[in-house]
A and B are shown apart, each in its own frame.
Chain A
Amino acid sequence: MTEHAVVHANPAFEAFKAIANMLADPRASFLGAVGGLILMLRFRRYVFNWYVGAFVLIVEAVVILAGMMDPNFKLIIGKPDNVPITIMLFLSTITLWLAMTQAVNNERRAEQKLPPEEKETSNQKTWVWPDLLYIEFIALILCTVALILWAVYLRAPLEEPANPSATPNPSKAPWYFLGLQEMLVYYDPWYAGVVLPLIIIMGLMAIPYIDTNPKGNGYYSFAERKFSVSMFLFGYLALWVFMIITGTFLRGPGWNFFGPFEYWDPHKVVALNNVNVSDYVWVVLFPKLGDLTGIAWFKQGLPPVQNVVPALIPPDMASIRAFGHELFMAWKREFAGIIFIGLYFLAGPWVMGKTFLKSYFKSLDFGRYSLLAFLVLTMGTLPLKMVCRWLFDLKYFIDTPWIKF
């Protein structure tokens, strides 16, 4: 490592690496990605033209190629199983650019009272033989050539034989699940690993039934369906693609964050002492209130909650009563988090219906609107917890022995 560092001790390159490491920090990069997405959509008319597109692609390529001079960066990017993520990065950029450029073009045409560009030829028909088949044929040949070249130049990874007692450090899920693995840092497995994926799948399936906007059917558009496209881009780019890239390139030993040019030090120590909402309330806030008001009740400290399992079959009243008591204690201890999450999911739909979901609130029936609001709010739980973790070291909103959120 040191030898390489001496060779490349170019001050400009070192400064570039330091800045890149700083920007890669999840707080900076996630907020940057979300902010970038918003700005990009806001100024879409100036962003989605061929020269900005080309510029972004060139910057991506230059950063990656220049980065390859750094041994730590090369180690991560050059890993055979990470190559698909680099490919995905470029393909996401290109496809986003392709889609949005045509959407912006159609938007301009609409202002001139012209139909979408696709409409010009959508009533004409083309022969499948030979016009479509010839495109497909070329695509298949190019795809086959690319696959064979890829397979010749890169060996499929094969690590040491399975050893159940030595976990490699770091140990990662397949790349397309790294977004979910990233969620596991913030939420418990039952939520991040089971409930959330199910809601994502169900939510995706529900899209055609809750997006009742008839416009934008069969052509690229943004202005006519701002909300649905923005939500999808946020979920797809910020919460899926971005998280995969973070999880692959920036998560190192001990699942700690490492900048792209940082050495993966297995002994890096990062304090992960996270605190629950109930801790803030009972340990920090209430004692102060007790001092101010002189009421002793505020100074009782964190109420204890035991894990009691009620025996339901056959019913054992003693254990059910004990469970009831612990349930009450849990409500008491976690009341602040429960109120917060309750308000989030119950008042959230109403607040959104008065603000940015106004048109959906009016046009959708109760069931569909509730579903839409629930899906949007559930998606929101991810950035919510992430931001709370970064700002307040928050561990759980609600922490009971039975369920943690």
Chain B
Amino acid sequence: MLGKLKNSVMDSQVKKSIFRVGIPNTDRKRVLIVLGNVFLHLHPTKVRTSGVKLRYTWCAGGLSFFLFLVLTLTGVLLMFYYRPTVEGAYVDMLDIRSQVPFGIMRELHRWSAHAMVIMVMIHMFRVFMTGSYKPPREFNWVIGVILLVLTFLLSFTGYLLPWDQLAIWAITVGSNMAKAHPFVGAAGPFADFLQIGGVPLVHPGDDARFMLIGAKELGGTTLLRFYVLHCVAIPLGAAVLMAIHFWRIRKDGGISGPL
């Protein structure tokens, strides 16, 4: 009876349409299962044995990517409740804590963000210590550095969103650095050299900081800008670069190892 049920499930057209390969009990099937799955085919079908070892990679790159996925999922869930307005943001934080089932979503998001920053740093450390940036992987290292910067920026823009004391003062300090850009920041060196007939071209109303926060002082415009950067612009950029990063690992000869 059970055997019959098993056979009718395993041989059904539905099952066969989803799982093409079946139980991977031969090498041929092991190859096909990796090639035939859109997620698994990020991998090659075979990898260097030395590269699979935990003490070589520490799983740092893979965990960075996994944490990015966790952050995407928890972030999307948080977006259902969060309004990026001066009036709404802080109240929504309190609501996400107490009025929403599974009230640790924000915790998961924040701690994953911290963990991702640490993991990306450790990944860079590992890649440096194994000399994996050397030819032919030079360009992938460059992409990796940009991804590191984007990770910092993602975390930094997210820092403002709770709109509490911690948030606005961290961003006040950070955004005032934009003011210090030479030439394009109103308080930076040489900005006041750029003037036409005494009318300054770079002033607090159009300089790099104004561009970043959308006003002369931190406020609703800043919150909206950081929200858009945090939820849409930077994640999209990071996703594109990650695609290139993973693709290049394959194209540059897979995981690094002694030549």
Interface residues in chain A, defined as those with a beta carbon under 8 Å from any beta carbon in chain B: 81, 83-84, 87-88, 91-92, 95, 98-99, 102-103, 115-116, 118-133, 135-136, 139-140, 143-144, 147-148, 150-152, 154-164, 166-168, 171-177, 181, 188-190, 193-195, 201, 204-205, 207-209, 211, 213-221, 225, 229, 232, 236, 309-314, 402-403
Whole-angstrom distance from the CB of A257 to the nearest CB of chain B? 19
Kindly provide the distance from the CB of A311 to the nearest chain B CB, expressed in whole angstroms: 7
Q: Is B50 a contact of A120 with CB atoms below 8 Å?
A: yes
Contacts A118-B257, A157-B166 known; A190 to B180 CB distance under 8 Å? Answer: yes
Total chain B interface residues with beta-carbon distance under 8 A: 104
- Main SS class of interface, A: helix
Given the interface pairs A122-B257, A208-B142, the reply to whether A129 lies near B24 with Cβ below 8 Å is: yes
Q: Within 8 Å CB of B185, what residues of A? A: 190, 194
Does the CB pair B47–A201 fall under 8 Å? no
Residue of A nearest to B44 (CB): A128
A405: nearest residue on chain B (CB-CB)?
B189
In-complex Cβ contact of A167 among B133, B164, B169 (8 A):
B169
Contact between B55 and A164 (Cβ–Cβ < 8 Å)? no
Closest 8 CB pairs of A and B: A193-B177, A208-B138, A151-B107, A189-B180, A122-B257, A84-B114, A121-B49, A216-B131
Report yes or no: B195 in contact with A126, Cβ–Cβ below 8 A.
no
Q: 16 interchain pairs (CB within 8 A)?
A: A88-B118, A124-B50, A125-B49, A159-B164, A161-B163, A164-B168, A174-B156, A189-B177, A190-B189, A194-B181, A195-B182, A201-B149, A218-B132, A219-B257, A312-B195, A314-B196
Q: Are A164 and B218 in contact (CB under 8 A)?
A: yes
Least Cβ distance of A89 to chain B in Å?
Answer: 10
Whole-angstrom distance between the alpha carbons of A181 and B163 in the complex? 21
In the complex, the answer to whether A236 meets B125 with C-beta atoms within 8 Å is yes
Q: Is B11 an interface residue (CB 8 A)?
A: no
Name the B residues within 8 Å of A190 (CB-CB): 180-182, 185, 188-189
- Residues of B60-101 at the interface with A, using a CB-CB cut-off of 8 Å, are 62-63, 66-67, 70, 86, 90, 93-94, 97
Contact across chains for B33 and A194 when beta carbons are under 8 A apart: no
Residue of A nearest to B66 (CB): A140
Q: Is the CB–CB distance between A151 and B193 below 8 Å?
A: no
**Given known A-B contacts A99-B125, A99-B126, A309 and B132 have beta carbons under 8 A apart:** no
Decide: A127 and B45 in contact? CB cutoff 8 A: yes
Q: Would you give the shortest CB distance from B169 to chain A, in whole angstroms?
A: 4
Contact A312 B193 (CB under 8 A): yes
B221 lies within 8 A of chain A by Cβ = no
Q: What are the residues of chain B within 8 A of A166 when measuring CB–CB? A: 165
B193 close to A118 (CB less than 8 A): no
Task: Report A91 CB to chain B, min CB distance, Å.
Answer: 6
Query: Counting CB contacts under 8 A, is B19 at the interface?
Result: no
Encode contact with A along B190-222: 1 for CB under 8 Å, 0 otherwise: 101101111000000000000000000110000
Q: Which residue of A lies closest to B155 (CB)?
A: A174
Chain B contacts for A217, CB-based, 8 A: 131-132, 134-135, 256, 258-259
Contact present for A159 and B117 (CB under 8 Å): no
Neighbour of A132 across the interface among B47, B94, B179, CB < 8 A: B47
B122 within 8 A of A: yes
Closest chain A residue, CB of each to CB of B134: A217
Nearest chain B CB to A131's CB is how many angstroms away?
6
Check if B56 is an interface residue, CB within 8 A of chain A.
yes
